[in-house]
């Protein structure tokens, strides 16, 4: 064997030694990939709902929006308001034909008057021992029953006119004059245009610099004008997923050109 080893050429001997060392070398462990750097939290100006200037999208909404419905079964006698019409608080929005209810009210009032006279007569007769205590108590019960019926009919007649609860405008009309409607039938949708509010969603981190009364500016898209405003209310809870909170604002001053549904950008 030794003779054979020495008989090999020197080059072949070196190649054999090198191959043996490579087989004996331990397998190299692949290097772990470098950890990605942590992403820094977005600044308030980078909020998804903000533009490049850090302004927040906002929308004008009416503080009051009411659907006027009928409380009685009757025919509409007068409904003069059209969509877009303005009205004042206390003005009659809808008037019903209540001739039947008014007749029933007069009948109830007459019954009540007759019951009262019967009670007075029974009381005088009771003083003369001509009627017993039972007759007087029955007469008193009749008076109470007639009074309740009269009050019920008077309340029903009072529902024959629906007054406006606030100053506003008609947003939608779904009934017409001379139409017979049932109780609960929607007639008009009205909005309070005199007290518009601004609704928006802001990052919760902004609470460090936004308080009730904080002034800001609103750029209204539809009119391409800016208006001064201030924070009116701050939401009661923070959304734990998006880390946002709702803010309600109010445009200062009187601006008849503003309407519910307009939108724009709020800049603090």
Q: What is the pLDDT of residues 145-191, one digit of tens each?
A: 999 999 999 999 999 999 999 989 999 999 999 999 999 999 999 99
In this prediction, residue 82 has a pLDDT band, given cuts at 50, 70 and 90, of very high
H or E element, residue 233: strand 225-234
Q: Rounded mean pLDDT of 9-16? A: 47
Give me the sheet containing 65-69, strands edge to edge: 65-69, 186-191, 168-173, 86-87
Check pLDDT > 70 for residue 264: yes
Cβ atoms of 184 and 117 closer than 8 Å: no
Give the model's pLDDT for residue 28. Answer: 45
- The pTM (predicted TM-score) of the whole model is 0.65
Q: What's the pLDDT band for 48 if we cut at 50, 70, 90?
A: low
Q: What is the pLDDT of residue 46?
A: 53
């Amino acid at each position: 064997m030794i003779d054979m080893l020495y008989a090999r050429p020197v080059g072949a001997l070196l190649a054999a030694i090198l191959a043996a060392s490579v087989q004996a070398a331990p397998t190299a462990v692949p290097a772990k990939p470098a950890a990605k750097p942590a992403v820094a939290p977005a600044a308030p100006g980078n909020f998804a709902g903000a533009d490049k200037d850090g302004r927040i999208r906002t929308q004008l909404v009416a503080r009051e929006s009411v659907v006027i419905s009928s409380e009685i079964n009757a025919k509409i006698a007068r409904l003069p308001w059209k969509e877009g019409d303005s009205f004042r608080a206390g003005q009659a929005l809808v008037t019903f034909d209540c001739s039947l209810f008014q007749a029933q009210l007069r009948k109830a009032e007459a019954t009540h008057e007759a019951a009262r006279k019967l009670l007075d007569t029974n009381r005088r007769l009771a003083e003369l021992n001509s009627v017993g205590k039972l007759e007087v108590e029955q007469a008193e019960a009749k008076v109470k029953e007639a009074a309740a019926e009269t009050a019920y009919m008077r309340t029903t007649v009072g529902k024959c006119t629906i007054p406006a609860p606030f100053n506003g405008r008609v947003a939608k009309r779904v009934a017409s004059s001379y139409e017979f409607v049932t109780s609960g039938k929607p007639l008009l949708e009205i909005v309070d245009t005199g007290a518009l509010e601004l609704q928006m969603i802001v990052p919760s981190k902004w609470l460090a610099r936004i308080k009730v009364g904080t002034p800001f500016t609103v750029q209204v898209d539809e009119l391409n004008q800016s208006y001064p405003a201030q924070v009116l209310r701050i939401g009661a809870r923070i959304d734990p997923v998006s880390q946002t909170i709702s803010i309600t604002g109010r445009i200062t001053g009187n601006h008849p050109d503003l309407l519910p549904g307009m939108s724009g950008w709020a800049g603090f």
